[in-house]
Amino acid sequence: MTTLNEVAARAGVTPATVSNVLRNRGRVGAATRERVLHAVKELGYRPHLAARALAEGRAPTFALMVSSIANPFYPEFTLAAERAARTSGHFLIVCNTNDDQETGRAYLEQIAGTLSEGVLVTNAELVFDDLRATAERGTPVVLCMWERPDDPPGLPCVAVDFRLAGALAAQHLLDLGHTRVGALVGSRSTHDDGAPFGIHGARRDGFVERFSAADDAQIVAEFICESDTIRGGYDAARRLLKAHPDVTALYATNDLPALGAMHAAADMGLSVPDDLSVVGITDIQLARESRPALSTVAVPTEEAARMAVDLLRELIDRAPRASRGNPGTPMRVTSAPVMVPRASTAPPRTRDQRTRSSLRKR
Amino acid sequence: MTTLNEVAARAGVTPATVSNVLRNRGRVGAATRERVLHAVKELGYRPHLAARALAEGRAPTFALMVSSIANPFYPEFTLAAERAARTSGHFLIVCNTNDDQETGRAYLEQIAGTLSEGVLVTNAELVFDDLRATAERGTPVVLCMWERPDDPPGLPCVAVDFRLAGALAAQHLLDLGHTRVGALVGSRSTHDDGAPFGIHGARRDGFVERFSAADDAQIVAEFICESDTIRGGYDAARRLLKAHPDVTALYATNDLPALGAMHAAADMGLSVPDDLSVVGITDIQLARESRPALSTVAVPTEEAARMAVDLLRELIDRAPRASRGNPGTPMRVTSAPVMVPRASTAPPRTRDQRTRSSLRKR
């Protein structure tokens, strides 16, 4: 691989001049610039971004903290974040915390500031105090998918209006004519927020507010999923449908439990959407590829990833290392979620249309 | 965060002695060792792995090259690889090549040897000459899921016997009584191998050999999927089922196209497994979570990831930097794939049992 020194020798300048030309820094005469660029082209030189960053005492990566890359939401987010990171020559380190606070803390201690110039945090059950301590030591931290734009977390973040997402799901079911529905909340309360519905509280509240405001509309039951997974949704949906066989639709605060709810309906002999409508939130790839395809409220995942990387870079560039710790706490809000109607929702059958046999199977 | 120097000061020794104690290197008397370990505990010191590696001129990460982390196979592999890498203090950088050779080459040039001490390669359409050049420059490279143990790639690799996987799928369909089946091959030929069925050649050959060897059994048609995806399998299955409505089962060389084949069957009014059995290869999470659950041949993904990381570490440790380029080309073979029968396969109906209506719908 051609080195900077070889380019400098060929162009008859110092390595510092080559560096200045390539980075548009310093004063370099037009003729010299021309000569350097010619040598670069001739020798096929490529700037060695990682080495450059290391030589400058900068860290060449961003760390992305996820609970588990195997959760289908994260790969899509990770792909977009890596693409965005690459535009400034940063590589992306994936840190699976397995929702374990100690693991998350160990990552932060080992990686922040040395290997990683900044930290992107998705919902990985990290302790906010650990994140603040990391930022105070000079390594910017950005929360990537904050769910409550009206309630800033005290850390720089990219927020998605998940309350609106819940409201849009409610409106969709109301527009179809559903009046008796059940809700599956995809997460429990966690240590950090203490809200009864955990990080999905905004999604839940938005749905409940909008649906309950309509005439004659009733949320018959709310069940919390044991886990925010297909399995968690399956189990919660079975319990809900057994206890309340008269609901005509289920809302789930995330796509995975919504997909589980569709499986539960199938196993109970209910046809989706004829006997039961199901709507989720997020629009992961699986939502498009399930049968029937899942109606869901799409959140701008790729946009959020790009915005998070951009914000992280701004925080890194904003101030010299020493004062990065207190950059204020900017919050950027993505474009609004959008309802995407697919095949899993339809107007409710009237009671007479619903077959007795399918009801008996419950 | 406590530093090595603080531990040394507390214990009244040099930083080098602390380092020796923590790494079990050099000669340190028992009393000194005791004093150092006491200071470590007292101060809550944690070795700073990333900083240590950088200080030693070693690279603190492994690079994992994938075509796209959004393909559902890779997150499962990545999770296992990251866990294995962490046991030696390495972090994992995810490199999405998007199946682009230039992108792959750029990663190798920028990352190998500086930021990453070794490179793990999954099927990312990289040019083997680029990988060999990387290894020759002193950064070990391991191919993680080589598909043909009987045909080594000329690079260190972990191999899975995919020919056997294909044979197991064939035997499963034969055992159920299927005699007329179709095959969907999940990839085309690529530049590097030139085989007509691309990297899925072994999976295809294993199936064809075993199935064709049975009396009265016939592979009625083989279709190549436009892409190794649910969509690619959907389209190929539709074409195959329209052209050959008499097949009673489909074999797909990967789970995603197999799931697509199930969707195609559903859209054509065919019930899986009553009208059509479908079997895939890999056993990704989706296979377990689809409805009906997909019968498939499970390959040991986690084991392969662990073995690949272990092999990479051996290659790194085996020789000083200068001679790493020619470490021989070890190949490790994982445990054998295993047939996992689920709900998508069943004995074929006799012709009379198959409803006319479902045949007409094709």
CA dist B308 and A218 (Å) reads 55
B132 and B254 co-located in one domain: no
What residues of A are in contact with residue B115 (Cβ under 8 Å)? 50, 54, 60-61, 91
Burial of A129 (0-12, 13-18, 19+ CB in 10 A): exposed
DSSP string of B1-37, one letter each residue: ---HHHHHHHHTS-HHHHHHHHHT-S---HHHHHHHH
- Judge whether B144 lies within some domain: no
Helix or strand holding residue B297 (H, E): strand B295-298
B236 and B348 co-located in one domain: yes
- Judge whether A149 lies within some domain: no
Are the C-beta atoms of A120 and A308 separated by less than 8 Å? Answer: yes
A295 and A313 co-located in one domain: no
CA dist A288 and A259 (Å) reads 11
Mean pLDDT confidence for A28-54: 76
A25 and A75 co-located in one domain: no
> Do A115 and B50 lie within an 8 Å CB cutoff?
yes
Cα angle value A294/A295/A300 (rounded, 5°): 100
Q: pLDDT band at residue A236, thresholds of 50, 70 and 90?
A: very high
> Do A75 and B79 lie within an 8 Å CB cutoff?
no
* In the predicted structure, residue A49 carries a pLDDT above the cut 60: no
B247 and B347 co-located in one domain: yes
DSSP string of B66-118, one letter each residue: ES-TTSTHHHHHHHHHHHHHHTTT-EEEEEE-TT-HHHHHHHHHHHBTTTEEE
B245-270 confidence digits (pLDDT tens):
999 999 999 999 999 999 999 999 99
A126 and A255 co-located in one domain: no
Q: pLDDT band at residue A239, thresholds of 50, 70 and 90?
A: very high
Query: What is the predicted pLDDT for the residue at B3?
Result: 74
Question: What distance in Å separates residue B211's CA from the closest CA in chain A?
Answer: 31
- Judge whether A245 lies within some domain: yes
CA dist B271 and B292 (Å) reads 10
Residue A278 CB partners (closer than 8 Å, separation 6+)? A249, A250, A252, A258, A261, A262, A265, A272, A294, A295, A344, A345
Provide the ipTM. 0.79
CATH number of the CATH domain containing B33 = 1.10.260.40
A217 and A355 co-located in one domain: yes
A216 and A313 co-located in one domain: no
- Judge whether B156 lies within some domain: no
B53-78 confidence digits (pLDDT tens):
555 656 789 999 999 999 899 999 99
- Give the residue from chain B lying closest to A98, CA to CA: B79
A241 and A220 co-located in one domain: yes
- Give the residue from chain B lying closest to A266, CA to CA: B291
Closest of B39, B59, B40 to residue B49, by C-alpha: B59
Task: Tokens for B272, please give them.
Answer: 């899986």
DSSP helix/strand/coil, B332 = strand
- Judge whether B147 lies within some domain: no
Query: What is the predicted pLDDT for the residue at A180?
Result: 97
B89 and B124 co-located in one domain: yes
What is the dihedral sign for C-alpha B51, B52, B53, B55?
positive
- Judge whether A153 lies within some domain: no
A180 and A69 co-located in one domain: no
Query: What is the predicted pLDDT for the residue at B157?
Result: 96
B135-173 confidence digits (pLDDT tens):
988 899 999 999 999 999 999 999 999 999 999 999 999
> Do A74 and B70 lie within an 8 Å CB cutoff?
no
- Judge whether B65 lies within some domain: yes
> Do A291 and B289 lie within an 8 Å CB cutoff?
no
Query: What is the predicted pLDDT for the residue at B18?
Result: 86
Average pLDDT score, chain B: 87
B5-56 confidence digits (pLDDT tens):
888 899 999 888 888 887 777 788 889 989 988 888 888 776 655 555 555 6
Mean pLDDT confidence for A136-141: 90
Which range (A231-240, A312-321, B147-156) has the least confidence? A312-321
Q: Name residue B296's beta-bridge partners.
A: B280, B340
A12 and A97 co-located in one domain: no
> In this structure, what DSSP letter does residue A253 have?
S
CA dist B56 and B48 (Å) reads 12
> Do A109 and B46 lie within an 8 Å CB cutoff?
yes
Question: What distance in Å separates residue B72's CA from the closest CA in chain A?
Answer: 7
Q: pLDDT band at residue B216, thresholds of 50, 70 and 90?
A: very high
Mean pLDDT confidence for A289-318: 94
What residues of A are in contact with residue B259 (Cβ under 8 Å)? 289
- Give the residue from chain A lying closest to B267, CA to CA: A291
> Do B110 and A68 lie within an 8 Å CB cutoff?
no
Query: What is the predicted pLDDT for the residue at A41?
Result: 82
Query: What is the predicted pLDDT for the residue at B54?
Result: 53
Q: Tell me the residue range of the domain where B10 lies.
A: 4-47
In this structure, the number of other CB atoms found within 10 A of the CB of residue B102 comes to 9
In chain B, what's the furthest Cα-to-Cα distance?
89
- Judge whether A66 lies within some domain: yes
CA dist B304 and B306 (Å) reads 5
Q: How many domains does chain B have?
A: 3
CATH number of the CATH domain containing A324 = 3.40.50.2300
